[in-house]
Amino acid sequence: MANPKPFQLDERRSFRFGIEIEARLIGPDGIAMPFLVQNLSRHGASGEWAGGDLVRGTGVALLFPDLGRFPAHIVWAEKDRLGVEFTAPLPQPALDRLLEEDPDAISSHRLSPKA
């Protein structure tokens, strides 16, 4: 009989927040597309977009109003959803400001994230 896999905690590096914030996804061609951020952490984001030909590994940027542009690359993409990893972690003040925009933001994290 095979041994069952041990229970594993989420191995993400930072807390994730369920959120709804409108941003712009800037593709490699420089065109900005609407992007509804639904999950956000210091290291990445995921959400809904209009779709297109972006694939895993593509360099993009997320543009948040009044905060600026944050370079990233696509880690997964589906028909109308995608996830990105930021090239450098979001500064904590920027994350705090984004979370203030959605008072209903919900933390979805493990007990102690990796540093």
pLDDT, residue 107, reads: 61
The DSSP annotation for 74-102 comes to EEEE-SSEEEEEESSPPPHHHHHHHHHH-
Please report, in tens digits, the pLDDT of each residue of the chain (115 residues total).
444 443 333 445 678 889 999 999 999 999 999 999 999 999 999 999 987 778 999 999 999 988 999 999 999 999 899 999 999 999 999 999 998 887 777 665 443 344 3
CB 98 within 8 A of CB 66: no
Bridge-based pairing of strands 16-26 and 59-64 is antiparallel
pLDDT, residue 34, reads: 96
What domains can be seen in the chain, in order of their start residue? Answer: 16-104 (2.40.10.220)
Look up the pTM and report it: 0.78
The DSSP element (H or E) to which 49 belongs, if any, is: strand 44-49
Distance CA 26, CA 61 (A): 5
